[in-house]
Amino acid sequence: MSRERARVDLPAAVDLAARGFIGVDDDVHQVYSLEDVNEGYKRLREGTMAGRGIVDMSP
């Protein structure tokens, strides 16, 4: 995904994932709440995060 197309490509990728065409469940290993985002960054810096972590910003 090029920087120039991110505004087009990212929403399209999210839509495909939401409709089940792209599986993301196996790629996400940790979900952090907004309150715990610093812990996620800490683990990323330390190299102790296995796989990918995401921040859930929903209320």
- Tell me the pLDDT of the chain (59 aa) as tens digits: 556 788 888 889 889 988 989 887 777 888 999 999 999 999 989 999 878 888 998 87
Alpha-carbon torsion (14, 19, 21, 26), positive or negative: positive
Q: Provide the residue ranges of all domains of the chain, joining segments of one domain with +.
A: 23-59
C-alpha 5: how far from its chain's center?
Answer: 18
Token pair in block for residue 30: 């940790």
Of 46, 53, 55, nearest to 29 by C-alpha is 53
> pTM score, two decimals?
0.57
